[in-house]
Every structure is written in structure tokens, then in C-alpha cells.
Amino acid sequence: MPLPKRKTSKWTRDMRRSHHKMAETGIAVCKQCNEPVRPHHVCENCGTYRGRKILNLEE
């Protein structure tokens, strides 16, 4: 099994790992109530998803 000829420096190791960070989650806006909502999720404020009433929330 091949082995590395030289020790990988901290700089090279960290530069390689710099692309492994987690991406930020985007925030969408509900079309009904203009509240921030997670993408592809039912709005917790008004209970709609893609313009259709999904949850029956009593106000």
C-alpha cells in the first residue's frame, strides 16, 4: 500500500478542508402572510403551502 512521501502541512490540509463547510439554509417568504418560512415547509403562521391551505389553524 502506498504511503505519502512527505507530511502534509497544516496549510495544505486546511485548504483542502475549506470546501467542507455547511451551507446556510435559505429563508423563503410566505405568499399569504409575508412571514419568513423554511423552504419546502408549511407556514407555521397561516398553515399554507404553495398557496393551498394545509393546516387548519384556529386564530
Q: Total domain count for the chain?
A: 1
Torsion of CA 48, 52, 54, 59, to 10 degrees: 50
Residue 56 domain flag: yes
Say what the pTM is.
0.56
Any domain includes 57: yes
Q: Which residues of 29-42 are buried (b: 16+ CB within 10 A; e: fewer)?
A: ebebeeeebeeeeb
Residue 42 counted as domain residue: yes
Range of the domain at 43: 27-59
Give 24's DSSP letter: P
Q: For the segment 1-56, what is each residue's pLDDT rounded down to a tens digit?
A: 899 999 999 999 999 999 999 888 889 999 989 999 999 999 988 999 998 888 88
Structure-block grid coordinates of residue 23:
451551507
